[in-house]
Every structure is written in C-alpha cells, then in structure tokens.
Amino acid sequence: MNKKRPVTFRPFKVPRYAYDKLRICRRCGRFTALGEERCSGCGRATLTSLEKQATAIAGRKMHTRLLLIVLLTLAAVYFGQSLQQMALCGAGGAVLAGALYYMQRKVRQNENLFALNELLGRNIDSIKEGLEINRQEAVAVLREDDVLAYEKLREISILLRGDRISRQRVALLHGFQLRKDMNLELEQLLLKDFEPLLAEYIGEIAKIRPELIKDRTLRYVKNYEAQILEMDKGETILISVAGAAVRLKRYALLYSGLIGRYIQDLPKDRFLRLSRLISASPYEPWNGLDLKVAEVREAKYRWDPEF
Amino acid sequence: MISYVILGITFLYAVIQISIYASRRRKPLTRDDIDERLLAALNGGTGTRE
C-alpha cells in the first residue's frame, strides 16, 4: 500500500551566498536561518540581515573615527595660544578630516565586507548555536507538520551541510508523494554512506526529474550498487538511474559499465537515446557499451523502424 | 604648544587610519571568500560539498 502523501512545498529560492540566509536580532544578538518575523529569543521584530547589520557597524566605525578627528581638532583650536595658532590647527584638522572622509567614501564597499567578515568570524559560535536552535525547532514541529519541518530543514541546510540534516530531510521526503513540479534537489542530499531511503529517493528522482541525476549521484549509485541491488526494488532503481545517465554523452561514457549492466531493461526511449549517442560518436571509447547496444538492438528491436 | 601636540596626534591618527583603509583596499575581500569561510567554519573545514 502506498503511504506517501501528496504535499505542496512553499516556493524556495536558494540565495546566492549562504550568509544571505542568516539574520541577526538587533536586540539580543541571536542568529536564525529561518524566515520568522519575530526573534525566537526575545520575541521582538528586530531581525535584520547580516549585510545590513555589517553596513551599519562599518558606518558607525567610520563616523566614530571622523568624529574623533573633529574633536581632536576642536581641542587643538581650544588650546591655541594665538589666533594664528588656532586658525592653523583648525585648517590642519579640517584637511585631515577631509582626507579621511574622502578615503572612507572610496573604501566604503570594501569596509562593509570587512565588517561582515568580522561579524561572522566573531560570532561563529553564536551562529552555530542559533542554527542548532533552528534545527530543534524543525524537529519539534515534525510530528504535527512534517511539511513545515522539511521546509525548515531545507532552509537550515543552506548553511549546515552535514549528513545529519540531509538524513532527516531524506527521511521526511520518503513520506511525500514526489511530483515533477516540486522544487526538488538531490546533490545536496547525498550522504557519505549508504542509506536505503536515499537510494529510493534517487530512483524516484531518476523517473520524474532525470535532469537532477548528475555526476555525484551517479558516483554514489556506482559506489553502492551492490547494496542497492539487495533492496526490494533495487534493480528498478538502478535501471531508472541508468536511463537518466544516458541523457548526456559524458555520463554515458563515464558510467558505461553501470549502464551496460542494465541495458537489457532500459525503456525503449532511453535505449533509443543511447543507441543514437553511440551512432553519432562511434569512435569514442565506449568500453564495450557499443557492442552491448548492438546485441540488444539485434535481439529486441531488430524489426523496429525507429532503430 | 599643546595645540600643536594635539594636531600632531590627530595627524598620526588620520595617517594610520588612512593607511589601514589603503592596505585593506589593496587586498579586498570578496563575497565568495566570506561565504566559503563561513561554510568551512560551520561544517568543520569543508566549505562546499565534494
């Protein structure tokens, strides 16, 4: 019986930089990667992006430095013993303040990045702590709303890329009915060791979104081929993956061994694709795959006009 | 005399600040560097997945 539930995920866009996902509470300094409006620590709506915070810090530092020059200049003028001395100190201070202000304007963008780097470096432990709290929040809602839990884990995984989060996400995805129109990912979910749920997920992705089957996934499948074969529908998974691999000539060449082992059972369209790839480049090192294709074509599709 | 001393200190302070800005400008940070460092720090040395 199929226990998978049809679900809909909220739209999700991967930010260009991972730190774009982080926000900091201006009040209590807690970090979060989730999209909540209020800080989970102090409950106030004072969450701001790290870039904004870094820009504010850099701006404050620059203003302080400029202000110090102005104050020192004023002190120099105050202690002047003659009008000439006072004018000289005032003019000198103004030139120095002007020079610093000019330089600050020129380096503003760069200083913002230095401030951001410093903010992240100084608070790395707080960031880790904030992300762990986020992860616990995701786990806490798991029983009531597994879709929400998945969405939260998906956001955290932009920053935390360990196997622990990936394993939890794969386990959650196992309960959902996957569709072509869903915002799915695969490479980010690959684990270091073998996981049957992940192998099942790869098999499903190979059927509905073969374009997501790339080098790292094919390497994973190749490495754990024996374990996948021991699974209930292991062979079906491997056939789907082999079918997805013939999408590109590069994959067909690199994983010719894997494809060759399941060539007998490839669906007709995938076999036709492979056959055309080989016919278009007969002198490539196909590692015996061309011969296997010829055999299968002879045995199964001898009278098929498409071949 | 005191005013010239203060002006001297101001001059030194401004020169130091300007040279710090100039040296940082020569070795600018990129967003990619920052991102990579953050991911490496959060994920135990591996910024990006293999």
Best residue of B1, B5, B7, B48 to probe chain A, by most A CBs closer than 10 Å: B7
C-alpha to C-alpha distance for A179 and A209, rounded to whole angstroms: 9
Contact A32, A47 (CB under 8 A): yes
Of the candidates B26, B6, B28, B32, the residue with the CA atom closest to the CA atom of residue A96: B6
Of the candidates A146, A240, A230, the residue with the CA atom closest to the CA atom of residue A194: A230
Tell whether B23 is within 8 A of chain A (Cβ). Answer: no
A99 to B14: CB separation less than 8 angstroms, yes or no: yes
Contact B34, A117 (CB under 8 A): yes
pLDDT above 60 for B37: yes
A69 to B6: CB separation less than 8 angstroms, yes or no: no
Contact A258, A218 (CB under 8 A): yes
What's the pLDDT at A161? 87
B13 to A187: CB separation less than 8 angstroms, yes or no: no
Helix (H/G/I), strand (E/B), else coil: A137: helix
Q: What is the DSSP string of A231-285?
A: STTHHHHHHHHHHHHTTSHHHHHHTHHHHHHTGGG--HHHHHHHHHHHHH-TTS-
Does the structure's ipTM exceed the value 0.95? no
What's the pLDDT at B49? 41
Number of Cβ atoms within 10 Å of the Cβ of A34: 19
Contact A204, A236 (CB under 8 A): no
- Give B13-36 pLDDT, tens digit per residue: 999 999 999 999 999 899 999 999
- State how beta strands A5-6 and A176-177 pair: parallel
Each residue's pLDDT expressed in tens, for chain A with a length of 307 residues: 457 888 888 888 889 999 999 999 999 999 999 988 898 888 888 999 999 999 999 999 999 999 999 999 999 999 999 999 999 999 999 999 999 999 999 999 999 999 999 999 999 999 999 999 999 999 999 888 889 999 999 999 999 988 989 999 999 999 999 998 888 899 989 999 999 999 999 999 999 999 999 999 999 999 999 999 999 889 999 999 999 999 999 999 999 999 999 999 999 899 999 999 999 988 888 888 888 888 988 888 877 777 6
Interface subset of A 30-69, CB within 8 angstroms of B: 65, 68-69
